[in-house]
């Protein structure tokens, strides 16, 4: 948020590879425009589904669609101090092999009556 961004040095870069909602896009954009920080590297943006399909803004199911957030995202993408990459770190040969191997081990454990990676209900 703006309060936390103000604590950063002007040479700092904000990097977010986790979830778009963790970074206040408006505060980040303002900081970039005002030279409060040096730049940003993002592979996630808040409410990305609208960016992927802008027609959603006009659908009846778009009760919570935020045009403001969508505009901020577009401005962040276009900002010369921002690098935005696709959020697909999982999409490497090594990562896919780990996913497949973990899934196979989970299936083997289940079949043998010793399930692994159990997610307990809260």
* Active-site residue, from 30, 63, 68, 87: 87
User: What does residue 42 show for φ and ψ, rounded to 5 degrees?
Assistant: -130, 135
Q: Which one is catalytic: 26, 30, 46, 48?
A: 48
15 touches 41 (CB < 8 A): yes
Catalytic position from the list 19, 68, 98, 105: 19
Is 46 among the catalytic positions?
no
CB 106 within 8 A of CB 117: yes
Q: How far apart are CA 39 and CA 29, in angstroms?
A: 10
The percent helix, strand, coil of the chain (3-state, each to 5) is: 45, 10, 45
Query: Is 19 labeled as catalytic in the residue annotation?
Result: yes
Q: Establish whether 52 is a catalytic residue.
A: no
Catalytic residue set: 19, 48, 87
């Amino acid at each position: 948020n703006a309060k936390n961004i103000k604590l950063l040095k002007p040479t700092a870069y904000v990097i977010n590879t986790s979830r778009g909602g963790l970074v206040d896009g408006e505060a980040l954009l303002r900081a970039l425009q005002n030279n409060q920080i040096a730049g940003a590297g993002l592979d996630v943006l808040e409410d990305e589904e609208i960016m992927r399909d802008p027609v959603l803004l006009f659908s009846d199911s778009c009760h919570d669609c935020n045009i403001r957030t969508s505009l901020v995202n577009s401005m962040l993408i276009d900002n010369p101090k921002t690098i935005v990459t696709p959020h697909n770190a999982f999409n490497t040969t090594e990562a896919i092999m780990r996913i497949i191997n973990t899934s196979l081990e989970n299936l083997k454990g289940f079949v043998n009556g010793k399930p692994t990676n159990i997610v307990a209900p809260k």
